[in-house]
């Protein structure tokens, strides 16, 4: 029953994403369609499988902490990342362990020029090097408060940064670095600057 509910929630999220982006792309950024679809499915499945509501108070502390991290990170006065390269991609993994990967990835998407597979690996895996860099780490620290010690996390999980670096270079060696083109706005700006210089 639990697996069925989880699958129904995933299908609702995927379905909402596909329908909105294919049929109504102009409205995609104006309303949280995926979040509403997930919540609707959770509420619809409540009569089938009663949620364990007492766990909500414990989980709310972790959710508030994670939300605080995202808000604090989004208020950082960072406008641009260093020029896109595999070196920057590797560094993004270490940065995402201490700086939430959602605004970091948004900055990279806006800037362009990154290999998105490498970027996804870097911010996804790299965020797990320290407990507060990932939602799963925050959830784990709620269950085991002793995990909140960064020193203990690194001392007992030293293999995670090592695996991140080894995995990064294996992926880079097998697949290479294939950057996506920079954003059109930046290209248009560069074209304007070139035409101005020529005049």
Residue pLDDT, tens place only, 50-72: 777 777 777 777 678 777 766 77
The number of folded domains in the chain is 1
Alpha carbons 51 and 5: distance in angstroms, whole number: 11
In a domain, 89, yes or no: yes
The pLDDT of residue 15: 95
- The mean of the pLDDT values for the chain is 81
Q: Which domain holds residue 171?
A: 82-198
In a domain, 32, yes or no: no
**What distances in angstroms separate CA 121 from CA 85, 140, 154, one per listed residue?**
14, 21, 20
In a domain, 59, yes or no: no
Residues 111 and 79 sit within 8 Å (Cβ to Cβ): no
From first to last of the 199 residues of the chain, give the pLDDT tens digit: 889 999 999 999 999 999 998 998 888 888 999 999 999 999 999 888 877 777 777 777 767 877 776 677 667 666 677 888 899 999 988 988 887 777 778 788 778 888 988 998 998 888 888 877 777 777 777 778 787 788 888 888 889 899 999 999 999 999 998 888 765 445 444 444 444 444 4
Residues 160 and 93 sit within 8 Å (Cβ to Cβ): no
**What distances in angstroms separate CA 1 from CA 4, 20, 49, 50, one per listed residue?**
5, 28, 8, 11
The pLDDT of residue 61: 74
In a domain, 111, yes or no: yes
Q: What is the CA radius of gyration of the chain?
A: 20
In a domain, 160, yes or no: yes
In a domain, 40, yes or no: no
Alpha carbons 62 and 132: distance in angstroms, whole number: 10
In a domain, 49, yes or no: no
Helix (H) or strand (E) holding 90: helix 86-96
Residues 111 and 84 sit within 8 Å (Cβ to Cβ): yes
In a domain, 134, yes or no: yes
Closest to 179 (Cα-Cα) out of 118, 128, 132, 100: 118
The pLDDT of residue 185: 43
The pLDDT of residue 77: 64
């Amino acid at each position: 029953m639990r697996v069925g509910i989880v699958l129904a929630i995933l299908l609702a999220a995927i379905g909402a994403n596909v329908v909105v982006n294919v049929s109504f792309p102009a409205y995609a950024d104006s309303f949280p369609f995926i979040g509403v679809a997930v919540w609707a499915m959770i509420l619809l499945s409540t009569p089938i499988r009663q949620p364990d509501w007492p766990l909500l108070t414990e989980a709310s502390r972790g959710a508030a902490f994670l939300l605080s991290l995202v808000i604090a990170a989004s208020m950082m006065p960072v406008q641009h990342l260093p020029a896109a390269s595999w070196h920057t991609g590797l560094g993004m993994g270490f940065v995402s362990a201490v700086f939430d990967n959602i605004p970091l990835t948004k900055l990279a998407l806006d800037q362009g020029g990154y290999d998105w597979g490498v970027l996804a690996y870097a911010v996804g895996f790299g965020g797990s090097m320290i407990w507060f860099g990932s939602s799963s780490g925050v959830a784990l620290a709620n269950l085991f408060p002793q995990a909140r010690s960064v020193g203990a996390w690194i001392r007992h999980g030293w293999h995670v940064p090592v695996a991140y670096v080894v995995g990064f270079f294996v992926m880079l060696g097998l697949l290479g670095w294939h950057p996506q083109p920079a954003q059109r706005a930046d290209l248009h700006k560069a074209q304007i600057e070139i035409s101005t210089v020529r005049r």
